[in-house]
A and B are shown apart, each in its own frame.
Chain A
Amino acid sequence: GAVVSQHPSRVICKSGTSVKIECRSLDFQATTMFWYRQFPKQSLMLMATSNEGSKATYEQGVEKDKFLINHASLTLSTLTVTSAHPEDSSFYICSAEMALSSYNEQFFGPGTRLTVL
């Protein structure tokens, strides 16, 4: 099956620093990738849609300057949390879209736990 990886799996950083999270599709090419945020015991909230070679589309309420998304290749998208603060602590999940015969399916990464001190 299609595999999506994320790196790192966990990161702890100091307030005010920036953190980069990588999302890779290991065995397929993904024109579109998605970034989600999951709070404890809550659902996944879509943050942005990332298209290779173009600017990401952010959901309402998501700060573009805070969460920088780059999709430079068909197998890699990155999310950079800039000037992180404790309220940015969360579980970040990416997914990569694969075109199947009848529809495009999303395959999800294992997530990255960000803790901002």
Chain B
Amino acid sequence: AQKITQTQPGMFVQEKEAVTLDCTYDTSDPSYGLFWYKQPSSGEMIFLIYQGSYDQQNATEGRYSLNFQKARKSANLVISASQLGDSAMYFCAMRELNQGGKLIFGQGTELSVKP
């Protein structure tokens, strides 16, 4: 069963607009962590934002915020004021407590920012 689902293979957004990238997850572990990574065309994976399952507030890192809805098991990434440099693949990932350091990744969403 897919544990991390990203249902948007590709998305377009106009420069300076906000965009939401969807991520849903499936776990019965009460303790887990959620990550978002960005992968530009150069290939390197860049950490963006982290949300712990017990965190009371939604995580924010600059223009990135994570819309964490625990009951719905969703962890959507919101990018505000999109820039051309935001064009990249975006991956959602989850770590479950009983899995040690392993991360499970979603299929990814390719975001294209239009000028």
A and B co-occur in one complex: no
Residue numbers of B with Cβ under 8 A of A are: none
Residue numbers of A with Cβ under 8 A of B are: none
